Chains A and B, each alone.
Chain A
Amino acid sequence: MIELATPGTGLIGILILLALLLAGGRIGAVLGLVGLGGLVVTLGAEAAFIKSGVIVIDTLTRYELGTLPLFLFMAHIFFSVDASRDLFDAAAKLVGHRRGGLAYASIAGCAGFGTINGSSLATTATVGLVAYPEMRRRGYDDRLSTGTIAVGGTLGQMIPPSGALIVFGIIAETSIGSLFTAAIIPGITQALFYALVVFILVRWKPELAPAGERAPWRERFRSLGRIWEIALLISFVIGGIALGWISPAEAAAIGAAGALLIATMRRKLTREALVHAFRETLRTSGLIYLIIIGALIFSVFVGVTGLTDAAGDLVQSLGLGRFWTLVLVALLLLILGSVLDGLALMLLTTPILLPIVEATGLSAIWFGIFITRAMEIGFVHPPLGMNLYIIQGVAKDVSIDRIFRGVLPFLASDFVHLILLILFPAIVLWLPAVLGT
């Protein structure tokens, strides 16, 4: 009898998967079908179907995965209280008078909004709606304004709570709390890198972003007063996870309860707002659940074929050493990231690349942050570059070409940041180690 559980079968599975994805198949369904088909071939129909049945019920009842819809629910409740406007407004009042101040404020607004929502696209869209018209009114160059918001939006994916990190935690069977803690320093340094790019650009070409009027301190305090309860809640949620007081799932529930309370206090919790939040939460979590179920079945198939071991052996036989192995992994992620959607990239490559990364002595926590960083670059990089299209939806008179030219200097900083993560893994691993999460 022919042995079918071989790396070759795994490779054929991946090729079929890529073909079906490019043919427009839904990511979760295609991952699951190829995985299931592969398991039928390698293990037989009964084992394959029973395994799929186990995965679907396990996923839907998995307590840790309950984190995801609850964080989404929290974000949608915050949408209803116009949190993005308040966050941008506070940052704009504090630094908006400086040259390039509104660009700094956009980055800060995106980072702040990233703490209440785990999506790049949502961050770009909501902050863009508030920040772009203001920058345009103040005479900012459209490449700088759209570029800043497009890349700033990617902070939503990195800064906890992050949807991508929750999904990675489930797939890689890694602590979501540790991933959230590990993302704090890379998220902050990423934001600082973007601010540095703005600083250099406006020093080099002052006409890109004129200075504005300084807001009186009374107005600054008033704008800060509108975000204090959001800041307090988020500090408790992220701090509580980092310090180990509460699990990520509990933090999500407390965050959602706090968001409901804040919306009630502001008299914004209408029936319509609640139904809208329910609907959006269910819609988005359904999308993610299907991908996770499909990816889990696919990763069982990849594991059965021994493809991960073979890929690991191949990379080790090249004798590249840690730095070049990780550069190779980064290049592969960036190339695949230009044709695959972020979640598909993460779920397709994690089962294969994680063992290779672990063989270099780095942990799944590090890889989770690294792959999320690579996913973020795909959000602002053509041909997919979803954030570019989102911001074009807001700035309709600015061409994609101009938006991309605005993103380029920030993209350069992204590559430097990615290299720094490889050279200094402590940027990721230090905080979880110190806090013991």
Chain B
Amino acid sequence: MSKPMTVIIWIGGIALLLAVGIDTVAVIGRHVGFPLTGSIELMQPVILISGALALVVATIEQSHARVRLLVDKLSAGWRDVADRFSDALTLLFFLALLVGSVWLAADLWNGYEQSEWLGVPWWTLRLIANLCLLSASAVLLWRIFGKRP
């Protein structure tokens, strides 16, 4: 596993462990009379980090689901074309999501959005999501124009 991938896996994994910990403590706390105030607001950033990094990991590992019924019947050359076409469509979608998300972030910039109980600033969450969308796009761009084995 490459070093950047190891870092991504560990950050995403730690976010998963935090999500497990927060909700478990929240449930136990609620049943013993010490509810964890704002637990859902704590969960939102960690599931955003794990989810956004998950998009990057699935893109790097080429795990996004495809219907291969016809593609598998093509010759090697045409299959390569189909693979690049599929990557190009995925890149287009990630870029469209990035445009939409950045547009929204810019529109709401002066709104100083934050969560209700803990004041988690939403611009940071949008930034993390946008960076991950950008990373996934970069991976796809590299794959489309890079040399294939």
Contacts and interface: CB of A to CB of B under 8 A. Distances in A.
B116 interface: no
Contacts of B117: none
Contact of B58 (A49, A53, A246, A283): A283
B147 to A, nearest CB: 20
A103 interface: no
B97 A26 contact: no
Contact of B19 (A46, A70, A341, A344): A70
A66 B16 CA distance: 9
A361 B58 CA distance: 40
B13 A25 contact: no
A366 B92 CA distance: 36
Contact of A24 (B20, B63, B67, B133): B67
B40 A33 contact: no
Contacts of B105: 53
Given A24-B82, A282-B54, A73 B40 contact: no
Interface string B38-68: 0010011101101111111111010111111
Contacts, number: 219
Interface string A17-59: 0001111111111101100100000000010111111101101
Interface residues of B, number: 64
Interface in B103-149: 103-105, 107, 125-126, 129, 133
Contacts of A249: 23, 43
Given A53-B100, A53-B103, A53-B104, A278 B12 contact: yes
A390 to B, nearest CB: 14
B32 interface: no
A98 B67 CA distance: 41
Given A25-B85, A56-B129, A253-B24, A32 B104 contact: no
A275 interface: yes
B60 to A, nearest CB: 9
Contacts of A73: 16, 20
A27 B66 CA distance: 6
A290 B58 contact: yes
Contacts of A209: none
B34 interface: no
B37 interface: no
Given A246-B27, A249-B23, A25 B16 contact: no
A69 interface: yes
Interface string B86-108: 10011011101101111111010
A67 B99 CA distance: 28
A52 B94 CA distance: 10
A137 to B, nearest CB: 33
Nearest to A40: B96
A32 B92 CA distance: 10
B16 A70 contact: yes
Interface residues of A, number: 67
Contacts of A25: 66, 85-86, 89-90
A40 to B, nearest CB: 10
Interface string A340-358: 1101100000000000000
Contact of A340 (B24, B67, B103): B67
A428 B142 CA distance: 48
B20 A33 contact: no
A49 B82 CA distance: 27
A433 B147 CA distance: 58
A239 interface: no
Is chain B's binding surface mostly helix, strand, loop or mixed? Answer: helix
B144 to A, nearest CB: 13
A63 B65 contact: no
A199 interface: no
A46 B103 CA distance: 9
A68 B14 CA distance: 16
Residue of B24, B47, B125 most packed against chain A (CB within 10 A): B47
Contacts of B64: 26-29, 286-287, 290
Contacts of A66: 19, 23, 43, 47
Residue of A20, A22, A32, A253 most packed against chain B (CB within 10 A): A253
Contact of B97 (A56, A256, A283): A56
Contacts of A24: 66-68, 70-71, 82-83, 85-86
Given A26-B66, A27-B67, A61-B48, A254 B104 contact: no
29 contacts: A23-B70, A24-B85, A25-B86, A29-B86, A33-B89, A33-B92, A33-B93, A46-B103, A50-B103, A52-B96, A53-B104, A53-B105, A57-B125, A63-B40, A63-B44, A65-B51, A70-B16, A254-B23, A279-B9, A282-B16, A282-B58, A283-B54, A283-B58, A283-B61, A286-B55, A286-B63, A289-B54, A291-B65, A383-B69
Interface of A: 20-30, 32-33, 36, 46, 48-54, 56-57, 59-63, 65-66, 69-70, 73, 246, 249-250, 252-254, 256-257, 260, 274-275, 277-279, 281-287, 289-291, 293-294, 339-341, 343-344, 383-384
A-B residue pairs, 6 tightest by C-beta: A286-B58, A53-B100, A278-B13, A253-B23, A286-B54, A52-B100
Given A26-B64, A287-B58, 8 more contacts: A24-B71, A27-B67, A51-B100, A69-B50, A70-B20, A282-B50, A285-B50, A289-B51
